[in-house]
Structures are given as C-alpha cells and as structure tokens.
Amino acid sequence: MTTSQPRTDPSIDICGITALRLDHLRAARTGIAEAVYGPGKTPRQCAEAVRGLLEGPTVGPVLLTRATAEQAAAALTLNLPQCDRRVL
C-alpha cells in the first residue's frame, strides 16, 4: 500500500469565480498548454485567469478559447506585453 501526499486545493478566487482552477503544471505534465474557456466568464474574469496562468511558476503559452472580442481585448490589455495575439 502506498501513501500519497495530501493534495492542496488549487482553487482560487478570481473576480468571483471561486471554483476556478488554474493548472500551472499542465504543459509539463501533458505537453498541452493550459486554456481558459471564455464562455460564461466576463471579460475581466478571462483577463484575470490569463494573468494568473502567466504569473504561474511555469513559462509557456496560455490559450483563451472561444472568446468574444471583448474577452480577448480585456485579456490582451491587462496582460500586455506578455501576450501575443494570434487568432486561428
């Protein structure tokens, strides 16, 4: 039987979204960049989530997916010059 380390709750409060979980180690663990899913979030919430990931312990891309123009603009404005706008 193995014992596991206690897990810490990575939930943080960003603009009223208490259950938002930022996975700072996703890219290292899976090889896939972390993404912020835009629908259901305000532009400010998207921007703060992107900021939280950019300020995390790892360096790598952060994707803002299915974002409105307002969400994307807020994320870019709050996080420049760290953001590079590439729309696919």
- pLDDT computed for residue 44 by the predictor: 92
Domain residues for the domain of 45 are 11-79
- pLDDT computed for residue 6 by the predictor: 39
83: left (phi over 0), alpha (psi -120 to 50) or beta: beta
pTM for the model? 0.71
Inside any domain, residue 4: no
Strand pairing class (62-65; 34-37): parallel
Inside any domain, residue 6: no
- Which stretches in the chain have pLDDT values below 70? 1-19, 82-88
Inside any domain, residue 23: yes
Q: Under a CB-based contact definition with an 8 Å cutoff, are residues 76 and 46 in contact?
A: no
Q: Can you list the alpha helix ranges (DSSP code H) found in the chain?
A: 26-30, 43-54, 69-79
Inside any domain, residue 85: no
Q: In total, how many domains does the chain have?
A: 1
